[in-house]
Amino acid sequence: MIVVLKPNYQEAQLNSLRKWLKSLSIDIQVNEGHSQTVLGLLGDTTTLDSDLIRALEFVESVTQVQEPYKKANRKFHPDDTIVRVGEVEIGGGSVTIIAGPCSVESPDQLCSIAQSVKAAGAQLLRGGAFKPRTSPYAFQGMRGRGIELLLEARKLTGLPIVTEIMDLSQLDLFAEVDVIQVGARNMQNFEMLKELGKSDKPILLKRGLSSTIQELLMSAEYIMSGGNSNVILCERGIRTFETATRNTFDLSAIPVVKELAHLPIIADPSHATGFSKYVAPMALAAVAAGADGLIIEVHNDPPHAMCDGIQSLTPGDFAELATRIRATAPYAYRRGAEGGTNL
Amino acid sequence: MIVVLKPNYQEAQLNSLRKWLKSLSIDIQVNEGHSQTVLGLLGDTTTLDSDLIRALEFVESVTQVQEPYKKANRKFHPDDTIVRVGEVEIGGGSVTIIAGPCSVESPDQLCSIAQSVKAAGAQLLRGGAFKPRTSPYAFQGMRGRGIELLLEARKLTGLPIVTEIMDLSQLDLFAEVDVIQVGARNMQNFEMLKELGKSDKPILLKRGLSSTIQELLMSAEYIMSGGNSNVILCERGIRTFETATRNTFDLSAIPVVKELAHLPIIADPSHATGFSKYVAPMALAAVAAGADGLIIEVHNDPPHAMCDGIQSLTPGDFAELATRIRATAPYAYRRGAEGGTNL
Amino acid sequence: MIVVLKPNYQEAQLNSLRKWLKSLSIDIQVNEGHSQTVLGLLGDTTTLDSDLIRALEFVESVTQVQEPYKKANRKFHPDDTIVRVGEVEIGGGSVTIIAGPCSVESPDQLCSIAQSVKAAGAQLLRGGAFKPRTSPYAFQGMRGRGIELLLEARKLTGLPIVTEIMDLSQLDLFAEVDVIQVGARNMQNFEMLKELGKSDKPILLKRGLSSTIQELLMSAEYIMSGGNSNVILCERGIRTFETATRNTFDLSAIPVVKELAHLPIIADPSHATGFSKYVAPMALAAVAAGADGLIIEVHNDPPHAMCDGIQSLTPGDFAELATRIRATAPYAYRRGAEGGTNL
Amino acid sequence: MIVVLKPNYQEAQLNSLRKWLKSLSIDIQVNEGHSQTVLGLLGDTTTLDSDLIRALEFVESVTQVQEPYKKANRKFHPDDTIVRVGEVEIGGGSVTIIAGPCSVESPDQLCSIAQSVKAAGAQLLRGGAFKPRTSPYAFQGMRGRGIELLLEARKLTGLPIVTEIMDLSQLDLFAEVDVIQVGARNMQNFEMLKELGKSDKPILLKRGLSSTIQELLMSAEYIMSGGNSNVILCERGIRTFETATRNTFDLSAIPVVKELAHLPIIADPSHATGFSKYVAPMALAAVAAGADGLIIEVHNDPPHAMCDGIQSLTPGDFAELATRIRATAPYAYRRGAEGGTNL
């Protein structure tokens, strides 16, 4: 951590800081510049709250050198983490496809889609039981009943299921769910992250609409610091000024996360773009950039979907896309053992 | 609602849409343009889920004309809502000052600050018991004990208290709290909003970092549609590319909200700017723009604050600012009876 | 164009609008809703200035249905435009590679790089003679001398050259240049766009840092409405809150532009990410998404580059990447004849 | 400047950097941390191009401690700069009002507005002769004839005039203009900034839509490093995801600029909000935040304005607002001699 002092600081202030940091096993090295004094904080500063330093009256600015996350950090865990869901492995060079409807709507709808996506090669089934909707007047999901239907679809197809939790009070209903999804709006629901850290169930953690990649990794760190390292990250678009797509798909997050962390990262082209017509090109782009998987919305009857139908593919389109994903995967970028500069 | 059809739509598709909308008491008026057909949907479309229309294969785009919120909408409730907290009135032309520490840290700290801010003219006491922190390694608040200390400070000073809830499981601890704050990260925690809608306690709803003003109003609508109309909105900065301040203080949200909704809106210059040195000018600016109040962080010993000390004023600075706020208030912008174009 | 009127509009106001629009050959169809009146403007509204309507006192909002660009619009020109630069064709299904140094620094540097990138398969040579730098104290480019060196490198290698113009006063120096680049900061330099519209030289138009895709197409329209339809668009990253990369690479712009316009669009992973370590994955992603080409910075000695060395590849890395680009290209997404929903 | 090295750097690399920096009179102090080596660069690094360091293979990151601007920097020029335009002083504690139409449309329109705004207390007259419009089909301004009309209006009223230059080829036409405006789209037109730096005419430099405050100050530095220190900065809104206003008015830029630089800064509530109904509250807010002035659009007949009428006040509204601005000004925030933490 680098601390720049204000020009008029007092020696006594610096000594008191030095004493406090010493108690945390952190040393200070002082650089007297021609116009300013700069401190180098030497030691393990990962868990030091930089805001405490920044708040000191005689401090001008603080720059973190070490990443503020440890358990997610690739520096301390150079190998890719592989998250296992039943027999499926997410991470480590394969491209896992998760597919299914935006919302669970009925037994028929779900079973039909589950069978289609399985036939097309999907390895996990997704489906929303609890739906976060901007309007209180919009369909809020089938809730507990939706989870029952997902479990039935799993029995039918053998596909493990992924579904979103919206509040900790729902946790008991997720006992049989294979992968618990934390949605973009809950990425910084820290009480939820802590609780999920106590489980060993795989967690699909979606990036928040306005969250930086570092914040995404800090939220993974919340789960991991509780003891659960089965975290799958997901890039699903960030909010910017551009309105031609629902969000802006930040595909660069894939190589950035691969460099900084050892966790698998998948991509969600359906939510990122918001239009089914852009799902195929952006799914292929995500694969080429090195994503460990894709999560794609599929609907057997898009016009009658209860929500988000506009971004869902038909089963036929999905099957065609899955074929192309498999064809593209061998040509995808993979990070070399030496890190990012290698092809 | 305006629906633009794709050039090659089928008459049968249009008829099927017409039939469905008729069942919702919505009529269609068809405009045949020279290159495109445009539908006007006539009737109450407030609670119609526009995504269902947008998902139709033969639809090119949908534009909402009516605001998708009803209870918060000034059109249906032209007078300002005043939220009462004990004897304090928020809204309706006054400027309410809420002040206190970022985090509750100890009985001494809290009582000392509470007495200072009361003496300086604050009408409510704020203080964080549960703290949303980006890092799992940072101080997470005194939690239940923090709320006890706030209640003691209320007894001492008579100031009603405002504090943040982070998860519904904490709700019982808020039974005696005067105003429950929903933080920026929970603005779209819809399960929480619904639950708070069942209470009649005043809710301080902070705008999310990347939430539009319309989304803020939709979240208020969640609370109000449950039956609780004691909602106080709060502008606290949005996330943009600018890094000179922690967030970008979107003060225009004040006149925009005043035009669209009847709820009071206050401003938080401490979180919006992130630096104590910018709190005073931005507090005065918020008052001039017509804010119904301010929420300001005050700390008796900023350098030792457990969090966010960098954005806290000292009690002396706060007292001086409170005096200036009172001096500025009579010159503040107030929306005329005729609406926004009047001075 | 859809115009929503304020509830209290006067019939006389509407008549006067009708009369004015009639003079522009535009008809009005009136929809009387239950709470609002909505007008459909029928006729060619492409060149109607919607701000004039929006400014009317009795108008609440205006929504454009027709795109405000004509010459760039795929609706009126369904086939892909192919821009020819010597024997190279940009657009129409191929992936053109443009490569070279950020800045032209010396004859040796430029010739060495030009020969390397040619050997690796690049079809055009890029290099900056005039450099837009944020600081007046940073290297500003070799200017006129830089263009001379580029022309010499073309003679040596046969590669056509692409270089950026910063001000119209430099135009004479570009007489022999094959492709004139308009940089991101000049995307809305309308006087420059108009002047370049009088030429028939290919123009490489880069998207501005905070420009929407529609604004990019409007800037292309400026050039095209002057008579020059040899416009190549370029996505090079937009400015968002994320700081892990220099900009946020909006790859979705590729399928969006392909849908809306008939012009070729290439991608610049060097400027978009700002780090050489992210260039390879994002170049492959751009190809998979359907880009018509790539523009990549290559430097023979990155550490000593005068500017932007951090985002430049070495010739060896570039050669390896070029091989992978060619391997990926056959698997790239291509828009079907029926439009975007086909794979 | 703080330079963090990669863990595996070579001593020879560090020595070669040390030698190069020594030639620039910059010393290196080395801090050996427990996991990384950090360099402090001591000396005047203002004009050192940090990208050159960042590009070195063995460097992980670079943090600038010194601001990269000198002439605009308040540290080296603690007193407020006052820019004089005839008898009007901009900066130093007063609130200057600049008003006039968006576009110059006719002699009658301009004279009528000029007389109205003068009567209401405006001290300078603004009006657009060259108009940057997103669409090539929109009104582009009266150009040279518009400047003639502005000069006539100045003769009539005595008000100095402010008008925007769009390209250097127009510079001769600005010989008699009092203040040359550089619009948001040209804030980083570096060739233009350099040329304007050779003049001693006051320059009104508007912040770019996606420019940081530091970039605004760097653009001012371009003008000042050429010898012209008569620079007036202008906050006019930045581009964000919020669409309720045309741009997001970043009023915090006012106290930030006041802290970092000594130049006057004014605010443009018309362009920042895009709606006349929001101009009054945001004008008062800007004054309260400490702005040195305001630039406001006024139109005698908003519905028929050729452009931007929607954000223009009527002369009557403007007169009322001017009265309120004068009433608010004495209560505005002013930075103390000790800097930002004082009220």
- Of B18-27, C108-117, C247-256, C283-292, which range is least confident? B18-27
Q: Do D189 and C194 count as a contact with CB atoms less than 8 A apart?
A: no
Q: Name which of B64, B212, B251, B326 to mutate to probe chain D: the one with the most chain D Cβ atoms within 10 A of its Cβ.
A: B251
* D291: helix, strand or coil: coil
Q: Is the pLDDT of residue A67 over 90?
A: no
The pLDDT, as a whole number, for residue C338 is: 46
Query: Among all chains, which residue has been given the structure tokens 């593209």?
Result: A328
pLDDT classification of A305: cutoffs 50, 70, 90? low
Q: Are residues C159 and C259 in the same domain?
A: yes
What is the amino acid identity at position A125? L
Max CA separation in chain D (angstroms): 74
Give me the percent of chain A exceeding a pLDDT of 90: 70
Q: Are residues D130 and D12 in the same domain?
A: no
Inside any domain, residue D247:
yes
Q: Do B331 and D327 count as a contact with CB atoms less than 8 A apart?
A: yes
Q: Which residues of D touch A241 (CB under 8 A)?
A: 239-241
Q: Which residues of C touch B42 (CB under 8 A)?
A: 31-34
Q: Which residues of C touch D170 (CB under 8 A)?
A: 191
- Structure tokens belonging to residue D105: 């449309």
- Of A20-29, A251-260, C253-262, which range is least confident? A20-29
Q: Are residues D91 and D56 in the same domain?
A: no
Q: Do A2 and D63 count as a contact with CB atoms less than 8 A apart?
A: yes
Q: Are residues B180 and B223 in the same domain?
A: yes
What are φ and ψ of residue D332, in 5° steps?
-70, 155
Give me the percent of chain C exceeding a pLDDT of 70: 95
Q: Are residues A49 and A100 in the same domain?
A: no
* B184: helix, strand or coil: helix
Name which of D38, D66, D240 is nearest A40 (Cβ-Cβ): D38
Residue-wise pLDDT for B258-276, tens only, equals 999 999 999 999 999 999 9
The pLDDT, as a whole number, for residue A340 is: 42
Distance of CA C80 to the CA centre of its chain: 15
Q: Which residues of C touch B238 (CB under 8 A)?
A: none
Q: Are residues D114 and D244 in the same domain?
A: yes
Answer for the pair A334, A291: CB distance below 8 angstroms, yes or no.
no
- Of A207-211, B242-246, C37-41, D254-258, which range is least confident? C37-41
Q: Can you give the residue range of the structural domain that contains A47?
A: 2-63
Q: Are residues A315 and A207 in the same domain?
A: yes
Q: Mean of the pLDDT values across residues A252-266? A: 97
Q: Which tops the pLDDT comparison, D206 or B301?
A: D206
Quick one: closest CA in A to D30, which residue?
A31
Name which of B51, B68, B222 is nearest A308 (Cβ-Cβ): B51
Quick one: closest CA in B to C247, which residue?
B241
Q: Are residues A133 and A230 in the same domain?
A: yes
Q: Are residues A14 and A152 in the same domain?
A: no
Q: How far is it, in rounded angstroms, from Cα A314 to Cα A337? A: 39
A161, B264, D36, D255 from A17: Cα distances, Å:
52, 43, 22, 29
Q: Do C285 and A280 count as a contact with CB atoms less than 8 A apart?
A: no
Q: Which residues of D touch A32 (CB under 8 A)?
A: 42
Name which of A214, A277, A285 is nearest C341 (Cβ-Cβ): A277
The pLDDT, as a whole number, for residue D304 is: 63
Q: Do A189 and B186 count as a contact with CB atoms less than 8 A apart?
A: yes
Q: Mean of the pLDDT values across residues D148-153? A: 98
SS3 sequence of chain A: CEEEECCCCCHHHHHHHHHHHHCCCCEEEEEECCCCEEEEEECCCCCCCHHHHHCCCCEEEEECCCCCCCCCEHHHCCCCCCEEECCEEECCCCCEEEEECCECCCHHHHHHHHHHHHHHCCCEEECECCCCCCCCCCCCCCCHHHHHHHHHHHHHHCCCEEEEECCHHHHHHHCCCCEEEECHHHCCCHHHHHHHCCCCCCEEEECCCCCCHHHHHHHHHHHHHCCCCCEEEEECCECCCCCCCCCECECCHHHHHHHHECCCEEECHHHHHCCHHHHHHHHHHHHHCCCCEEEEEECCCHHHCCCCHHHCECHHHHHHHHHHHHHHHHHCCCCECCECCCC
Whole-number average pLDDT of chain B? 91
Q: How far is it, in rounded angstroms, from Cα A79 to Cα A56? A: 39
Instruction: With CA atoms as reference, report the closest residue to C124 among C106, C103, C97.
Output: C97
Q: Are residues D89 and D209 in the same domain?
A: yes
pLDDT classification of B307: cutoffs 50, 70, 90? low
Q: How far is it, in rounded angstroms, from Cα D137 to Cα D276? A: 24
- Which residues lie across from B31 on neighbouring strands? B38
Q: What CATH number is given to the structural domain containing A29?
A: 3.30.70.1140
Inside any domain, residue B77:
no
Last residue of a domain, one of A10, A33, A63: A63
Distance of CA D110 to the CA centre of its chain: 25
Q: How far is it, in rounded angstroms, from Cα D285 to Cα B289? A: 5
Quick one: closest CA in D to C306, which residue?
D52
The pLDDT, as a whole number, for residue D55 is: 76
Element (H, E) at B153: helix B144-157
Name which of A212, A243, A290 is nearest C241 (Cβ-Cβ): A212
Q: Mean of the pLDDT values across residues D100-109? A: 94
Tally of structural domains, chain C: 2
Q: Which residues of A touch C256 (CB under 8 A)?
A: 244-245, 278
Exposed / middle / buried, residue C336 (Cβ in 10 Å: 0-12, 13-18, 19+): exposed
Q: How far is it, in rounded angstroms, from Cα C249 to Cα A264? A: 21
Q: Do C66 and B36 count as a contact with CB atoms less than 8 A apart?
A: yes
Residue-wise pLDDT for C309-319, tens only, equals 678 899 999 99
Compute chain C's Rg from CA coordinates: 23
Q: Which residues of B touch D278 (CB under 8 A)?
A: 252, 255-256, 340
Name which of B213, B243, B248 is nearest D244 (Cβ-Cβ): B213
User: Which residue pairs from A170-178 have beta carbons closer than 8 angstroms and sit at least 24 positions apart in sequence?
Assistant: A170/A130, A170/A143, A170/B191, A171/A195, A173/A144, A173/A147, A174/A147, A174/A201, A176/A147, A176/A151, A177/A147, A177/A150, A177/A151, A177/A201, A178/A85, A178/A86, A178/A124, A178/A154, A178/A202
Q: How far is it, in rounded angstroms, from Cα D79 to Cα B214? A: 43
Distance from CA of B2 to the nearest CA of C (A): 8
Element (H, E) at D157: helix D144-157
Give me the percent of chain D exceeding a pLDDT of 90: 70
Q: What CATH number is given to the structural domain containing B222?
A: 3.20.20.70
Residue-wise pLDDT for A189-244, tens only, equals 999 999 999 999 999 999 999 999 999 999 999 999 999 999 999 999 999 999 99
Q: Are residues D134 and D209 in the same domain?
A: yes
Q: Mean of the pLDDT values across residues C309-337? A: 90
Q: Are residues B239 and B120 in the same domain?
A: yes
Exposed / middle / buried, residue D183 (Cβ in 10 Å: 0-12, 13-18, 19+): buried
Name which of C210, C277, C339 is nearest A341 (Cβ-Cβ): C277
Q: Do A31 and D33 count as a contact with CB atoms less than 8 A apart?
A: no
Q: Is the pLDDT of residue B342 over 60?
A: no
Q: Do D281 and B244 count as a contact with CB atoms less than 8 A apart?
A: no
Q: Which tops the pLDDT comparison, B307 or D107?
A: D107
Side-chain half-sphere CA neighbours of C113 within 13 A? 33
Q: Which residues of B touch C239 (CB under 8 A)?
A: 241
B325, C146, D195 from C173: Cα distances, Å:
59, 10, 19
Q: How far is it, in rounded angstroms, from Cα D83 to Cα D89? A: 6
Q: Is the pLDDT of residue B343 over 60?
A: no
Residue-wise pLDDT for C34-48, tens only, equals 677 888 888 888 778
Q: Name which of A57, A167, A236 to mutate to probe chain B: the one with the most chain B Cβ atoms within 10 A of its Cβ.
A: A167
Quick one: closest CA in B to D215, which residue?
B242
Inside any domain, residue B246:
yes
Inside any domain, residue C55:
yes
Distance from CA of A258 to the nearest CA of B (A): 20
Q: Is the pLDDT of residue C219 over 80?
A: yes
Q: Which tops the pLDDT comparison, B21 or C321?
A: C321
Inside any domain, residue B277:
yes
Inside any domain, residue A323:
yes
The pLDDT, as a whole number, for residue C340 is: 42
What are φ and ψ of residue D173, in 5° steps?
-70, -15
Q: Is the pLDDT of residue B252 over 50?
A: yes
Q: Which residues of A touch D44 (CB under 8 A)?
A: 34
Name which of D57, D222, D307 is nearest C51 (Cβ-Cβ): D307
Inside any domain, residue A286:
yes
Whole-number average pLDDT of chain A? 91
Q: How many Cβ pairs closer than 8 A exist between chain A and D?
A: 51
The pLDDT, as a whole number, for residue D340 is: 42
Instruction: With CA atoms as reference, report the closest residue to C332 among A56, A283, B320.
Output: A283
Distance from CA of B98 to the nearest CA of C (A): 30
Max CA separation in chain C (angstroms): 74
Residues of D with CB under 8 A from a CB of A: 2, 4, 29, 31-36, 38, 40, 42-44, 61, 63, 65-66, 239-241, 243
Inside any domain, residue D75:
no
Last residue of a domain, one of A34, A63, A92: A63
Last residue of a domain, one of C63, C98, C115: C63
- Structure tokens belonging to residue A76: 């301390």
Residue D58, number of CB atoms within 10 A of its CB: 18
Query: Among all chains, which residue has been given the structure tokens 């402090």?
Result: D40
Distance from CA of D246 to the nearest CA of B (A): 11
Distance from CA of B339 to the nearest CA of C (A): 13
The pLDDT, as a whole number, for residue B324 is: 96
Query: Among all chains, which residue has been given the structure tokens 């020009």?
Result: A7
